[in-house]
Structure 1
């Protein structure tokens, strides 16, 4: 959501800087993602002043050029060569002085420099509209008012304004902050808590008047008060459509809206000021001068403002006229045949409260996401319609010379009440881990329009305003107090006190924490991604689909953790992070024959450097074996043994393997396919593993508790073998064969060298293996060692056709 700084200042008066405002909003939960300076004219006409042409003569070496002497004020005279056909003696003109940077409407910016044009010195530039960026005209230079004083900055003539666009990453639950006034209200509450001087403009209307008090010409009928609890409207006569004043255009442009005309701009201004959508009908096109709010028969059509003919169903809420002809899809999009056009003279202006679920379903069905539906489907303030209409009516009177006829119509048969809840002081202390002074809590509640209707030393009885649709329970109120008080104000305790009780039972949370701590000790960061994602395979009927998704990107439950992690990796790469090591515990979801399944996974991903580059290891690129080593360490911690490995082919990996045991598949891991990486604009290689956490937990939980054992009293010994093998033989096969051959004395097997290439037969490779042997009851002898090694050589020779290498 975009907020204009100048617009915001209309509702809150404070002297703090834009940076401090951004920081304060972020602290309250309205996270500011960026601030952009906006100028009504690019460059703000800096360096451009009013000049007076005191001499104008034809250029001696060019027929189309003239040499002028221009007074820039204080009798500073400069010579400027000008090619405009309309330059003449005595004119007041805009002059870009030497050093000025101009931002033309078409083309790149350029700097005005001292120059010679056909032999004549030129110290500036007399400008046309397009050269200054204030218009499209290039037929000649701008001729200014002759009363202007030479030397006057042109920014004063054109009233250049500067503003800031504040980009807020608004969460879906904060409908109360989907407007400038809503943001101002939160900002005021936070500043007041911090004892920073500020004032908030009251949400009231003054000096509203009717031009004619006779009855409103439009009749209203509500067929379905459940879908439309409130419908209000005002009739405005004899409007004059045209361009909006500059201040209104500038503020709409700051938040990314294009000004259209004064009528449309007013409705947009009210929407973004107070969060109340408005819709204007051409009153003369309303059949029988009657508006009916209800549904239509299945198959009824309407052509919307975008020119698309849409087929309606019987569940959609529609605004229709007295002839039952649809004029508007309620809360979503207007109809073309009833909309305001250049010939419109009289309008009926609508402000309503529609049931959020109804609007959400209609918006999804029609594939329309508008500023209005965005707010209606989340729930707006049901008690602001009249104020919004009065504010809009005043602007129509002022900017279109329209006349308000008759009283405001307001159908509100069953008012939506504020909600009630309690706040227990001990509960807020318990949740926040800090005792906030009771008077400060009450001040925070008051600043948030939360009314205390009764209180004791332990409990507050509260009324929550209806526009706070996200605050209905005690815990919601505690969150409100916490965010205004400031999460950064809640100190982290220096020590924790707790009673330790030994438990023989292993639980998922404990084992998950052990693994998480192990991963973080290796430099990994834990992430938590949204379980909702987009469909990647349209014909996949195993997806768990969301009935009312907010968007196509959040339409189904995820079936893998990989895409969330790839998004995290892309985000970090784009911010120049070189070492990316991430993990996530999360669930995946499937539908099978009308049954819903969910499984917990552990996902691990690495990319870029495995550690920070240094002079000893200048190149530390992550590899598949780094990831595999991490997995093997996790298996040791979880007491997972007897692992078999096999290659797998899948669209996710360009090369991958599966690790399994008698419990089935435990891990799938590999290098992510470049085609998938390209979707995320990732150019680095990414190595990914997805672990079956539920299986691993059961294996670990069923293992007996680890016991301490004595350090062996007798030393061990190691031997190396260099084996010539077929290329298809894998280390894991040799590893398993070794322990099948000798279980008592053999303690470890390690592959420490692999060689392929020169001086080896075709399709052969060399493995160098280290074997560590130890007898825990006595010193191992050479005879014992030779016996084991001979058995191993015989096993490798018979099973894998291995040959000993002597060099």
Structure 2
């Protein structure tokens, strides 16, 4: 959620810096995730000054250039200009040396002293598009101003700037989903009064376009208000309103839409405008339509109603899906001259169900789903009507219809002081408690020595229990204000298991980082579309989110693959194609009874092994590179090297299943193109997913010291001709059994397939490293070991030994 510091100051005047305000809000529970700046013109024309052309003559070496002398107040600048309309006596915008220009084409460049066709130029006379003010490039911009030469030009163009806070709003703080809501917290934190917008000038000019309102479902619509404005025009909004919306990343449309968006983000009250001439029977009915009724929304999509949606209707049918999205046939347009403006309070449950079923998420539904202030609709309606009349012309042509038969009262919560002291961990002065609550619009009633009755306004939908009231006291009082006693101590020392999963994870993370891998953390939420189209995930095991935030995030992930591929796609699309990534994450499964989850370690390798350079040629990453990393991790965990089995099933084009002690610890291989393209990745990706829980169980305590053998290592080579289907892993297992303790390691250094062997055969060149930790190996012992190996290969692998 974006909040403008400029607008906050209209509610609460303050001198604190944006950083100080961000710290205050974060400490009180409204976490500020970032601070950004908005400029209506990029660069805000900094360094651009008023200049006067006092001399203009043709360039001696170029037909289309002019030599000018420009007075910028404190000095006369020689400037070479290419504009055809430059002339002596003009007042012009001048970018001096060192100024950065931000033209409309999106680039930016710094003005430097230069020589152009042999003539010195110390600045630039600017055109409209070069300043980012418009699209014209027909000539320089000529200023009509009496400002002294050298004055900044920014005041001539109403340049606006804003500092914007990005607040990570938690679901419980629906009251803070607006500038007013954030200002209410600042009111309490800064001990200042809140200045509300003035609606005292609201008046009804005439009442000839009144609408009758009927609410059939009082529970789902406790309050509905509306009025009519006639004689309006759908014109563009003024610059101040457009800049306000742009600072919040909203696109201005026309004055009707922009005012309702302004009120929504300013006061937190969603509004909806109808073209009054399209409403049949001059009557509005809030009700539910029969199941199966088709309804076309503003986005042009026909939706089939379930019968549970709350609808705004006229005598012909549905006009709007209440609190979610308007209808195509009743919305305002450029031809609208009479506007019916709706301001209501809808039940959170009915809006949430309707929005989720139809996959619609709007700023209005976001607020209604969490709960809005039932006492705000009429105030917001007056404020919006006054703005529309001021900006779009017209006059209010009906009184306010306000259907609110059962006003929602304050929530009454008994609070005991001893509970306040116990939960906070400190005794706060009773008068300060009452001051804090008053600043939060929570009234204190029926106070005694033991406690009081808190009267909480309805807009605080999250404050319903005594503990909630105490939390409100603490967050304004300040968590940092609670001192910790020096004599606090633990009564016992906890025993820690020998295997610390966090330490193991840290060790592996360090190892991977040292190999050039970058750690990622992705969302546990994923899309059911992946499991449905994957071919290797069971869609029936998806853990479906009941209160899903969007259709794209509707299940918990069964694998780290797809969320990781989305990270790859994001980076590749930004020309970062050589990637080494890893992630520790949790996966989830639905079982016949209950649910299951597990921890996984994923590795992604794609692109080139190294950056381009003149010494070494660029080589693409391959399967052996990733397998070597996996093997190094197992060594780091002191887990026995795995037995492998070839896998060619989805999602791998080819790969291996890794097993240790007959337990599968993971899979590794090249991903199929069909799988990577599901996430819009169009280059080869090698992927490994390891069962981290199982690896932690298999990990053994590593010896800190190991004596290096004093006796030399011996190498012997063998050349074997074997069948194509015999793998190196099979040969390694045969060798480990036959070689005994003397065989330290085995390596394949050459593989041959060609016309010198049968078509169904291949030749392996293997090296064997023998060593005895107790004595120097003799030729007799070496030969005996090698003979055992050759016999084992011939017997168990059908190998032909080349001697």
| TM-score of the aligned structures, taking structure 2 as reference length | 0.75
Note if 1:627 corresponds to 2:609.
no
Question: Aligned runs of 1:274-353 on 2, under 5 Å?
Answer: 274-298=267-291, 300-308=293-301, 310-321=303-314, 323-353=315-345
Residue 213 of structure 2, aligned match among 216, 220, 227: 220
Structure 1 range deviating more: 626-635 or 752-761? 752-761
Question: Aligned runs of 1:520-539 on 2, under 5 Å?
Answer: 529-538=523-532
Cα offset, 1:655, TM superposition = 4.1
Question: Aligned runs of 1:568-647 on 2, under 5 Å?
Answer: 582-584=582-584, 586-590=586-590, 598-605=596-603, 623-631=626-634, 636=639, 644-647=643-646
Structure 1 range deviating more: 237-246 or 566-575? 566-575
Structure 1 range deviating more: 579-588 or 336-345? 579-588
**Structure 1 residue matching 2:316: 3-state secondary structure:** coil
Note if 1:798 corresponds to 2:792.
no
Cα offset, 1:676, TM superposition = 5.3
Cα offset, 1:405, TM superposition = 4.8
Cα offset, 1:318, TM superposition = 1.7
Cα offset, 1:352, TM superposition = 1.2
What is the rounded CA distance, in whole Å, between the counterparts of 1:606 and 1:479 in structure 2?
44
Structure 1 range deviating more: 418-427 or 724-733? 418-427
CA separation of 1:498 and 1:397: change in aligned 2, threshold 3 A: same
Superposition CA RMSD, Å: 5.8
Cα offset, 1:278, TM superposition = 0.8
Question: Aligned runs of 1:172-187 on 2, under 5 Å?
Answer: 172-187=171-186
Cα offset, 1:222, TM superposition = 0.6
Residue 396 of structure 1, aligned match among 388, 391, 397: 388
What is the rounded CA distance, in whole Å, between the counterparts of 2:561 and 2:595 in structure 1?
19
CA separation of 1:389 and 1:78: change in aligned 2, threshold 3 A: same
Residue 94 of structure 1, aligned match among 83, 92, 98: 92
Cα offset, 1:735, TM superposition = 6.1
After superposition, the C-alpha distances for 1:460-517 in whole angstroms (9 at most, x for unaligned) are 86555433444555676677677667778899999973535889xx9xx988568657
After superposition, the C-alpha distances for 1:440-471 in whole angstroms (9 at most, x for unaligned) are 87776665555565789998865554334445
CA separation of 1:163 and 1:624: change in aligned 2, threshold 3 A: same
What is the rounded CA distance, in whole Å, between the counterparts of 2:101 and 2:421 in structure 1?
59
Note if 1:378 corresponds to 2:342.
no
What is the rounded CA distance, in whole Å, between the counterparts of 2:494 and 2:468 in structure 1?
33
What is the rounded CA distance, in whole Å, between the counterparts of 1:729 and 1:317 in structure 2?
68
After superposition, the C-alpha distances for 1:72-109 in whole angstroms (9 at most, x for unaligned) are 66896989878556x7887x643325536554446855
After superposition, the C-alpha distances for 1:178-198 in whole angstroms (9 at most, x for unaligned) are 222233344555xx3xxxx57
After superposition, the C-alpha distances for 1:722-770 in whole angstroms (9 at most, x for unaligned) are 554456655654565577679xxx6696425432269999633344456
After superposition, the C-alpha distances for 1:291-316 in whole angstroms (9 at most, x for unaligned) are 11112344545554445555545332
CA separation of 1:491 and 1:799: change in aligned 2, threshold 3 A: farther
| Alignment check: 8 A CA contact 2:359 2:550 kept | no
What is the rounded CA distance, in whole Å, between the counterparts of 1:526 and 1:426 in structure 2?
46
| Alignment check: 8 A CA contact 2:651 2:671 kept | yes
CA separation of 1:497 and 1:787: change in aligned 2, threshold 3 A: farther
What is the rounded CA distance, in whole Å, between the counterparts of 2:789 and 2:111 in structure 1?
85
| Alignment check: 8 A CA contact 1:177 1:183 kept | yes
Cα offset, 1:551, TM superposition = 1.3
Query: Could you tell me which residue of structure 1 aligns to residue 262 of structure 2?
Result: 269
Query: Could you tell me which residue of structure 1 aligns to residue 689 of structure 2?
Result: 689
What is the rounded CA distance, in whole Å, between the counterparts of 1:210 and 1:462 in structure 2?
36
**Structure 2 residue matching 1:554: 3-state secondary structure:** coil
**Structure 1 residue matching 2:272: 3-state secondary structure:** strand
Note if 1:12 corresponds to 2:12.
yes
**Structure 2 residue matching 1:559: 3-state secondary structure:** coil
After superposition, the C-alpha distances for 1:506-562 in whole angstroms (9 at most, x for unaligned) are 9xx988568657646756879574244452154574244445532122122322133
| Alignment check: 8 A CA contact 2:601 2:692 kept | no
| TM-score of the aligned structures, taking structure 1 as reference length | 0.75
What is the rounded CA distance, in whole Å, between the counterparts of 2:70 and 2:510 in structure 1?
73
What is the rounded CA distance, in whole Å, between the counterparts of 1:488 and 1:682 in structure 2?
51
CA separation of 1:567 and 1:303: change in aligned 2, threshold 3 A: closer
What is the rounded CA distance, in whole Å, between the counterparts of 1:101 and 1:602 in structure 2?
49
Query: Could you tell me which residue of structure 1 aligns to residue 3 of structure 2?
Result: 3
Note if 1:233 corresponds to 2:232.
no
**Structure 2 residue matching 1:623: 3-state secondary structure:** helix
What is the rounded CA distance, in whole Å, between the counterparts of 2:16 and 2:185 in structure 1?
15
| Alignment check: 8 A CA contact 1:651 1:673 kept | yes
**Structure 1 residue matching 2:218: 3-state secondary structure:** coil
After superposition, the C-alpha distances for 1:337-391 in whole angstroms (9 at most, x for unaligned) are 4333444443222111222333234334444433222322333333321221222
Structure 1 range deviating more: 567-576 or 365-374? 567-576
**Runs (5+) with no aligned partner, structure 1:** none
CA separation of 1:59 and 1:768: change in aligned 2, threshold 3 A: closer
Cα offset, 1:273, TM superposition = 0.7
| Alignment check: 8 A CA contact 2:652 2:671 kept | yes
Note if 1:755 corresponds to 2:749.
yes
CA separation of 1:741 and 1:461: change in aligned 2, threshold 3 A: farther
Aligned residues: 768
What is the rounded CA distance, in whole Å, between the counterparts of 2:522 and 2:347 in structure 1?
33
**Runs (5+) with no aligned partner, structure 2:** 514-518
CA separation of 1:122 and 1:721: change in aligned 2, threshold 3 A: closer
Residue 242 of structure 2, aligned match among 232, 244, 249: 249
Query: Could you tell me which residue of structure 1 aligns to residue 458 of structure 2?
Result: 466
| Alignment check: 8 A CA contact 1:572 1:580 kept | no
| Alignment check: 8 A CA contact 1:328 1:335 kept | yes
CA separation of 1:151 and 1:798: change in aligned 2, threshold 3 A: closer
**Structure 1 residue matching 2:385: 3-state secondary structure:** helix
CA separation of 1:111 and 1:720: change in aligned 2, threshold 3 A: closer
| Alignment check: 8 A CA contact 1:725 1:801 kept | no
CA separation of 1:526 and 1:236: change in aligned 2, threshold 3 A: closer
Cα offset, 1:145, TM superposition = 4.7
CA separation of 1:798 and 1:444: change in aligned 2, threshold 3 A: farther
**Structure 2 residue matching 1:536: 3-state secondary structure:** helix
CA separation of 1:722 and 1:548: change in aligned 2, threshold 3 A: same
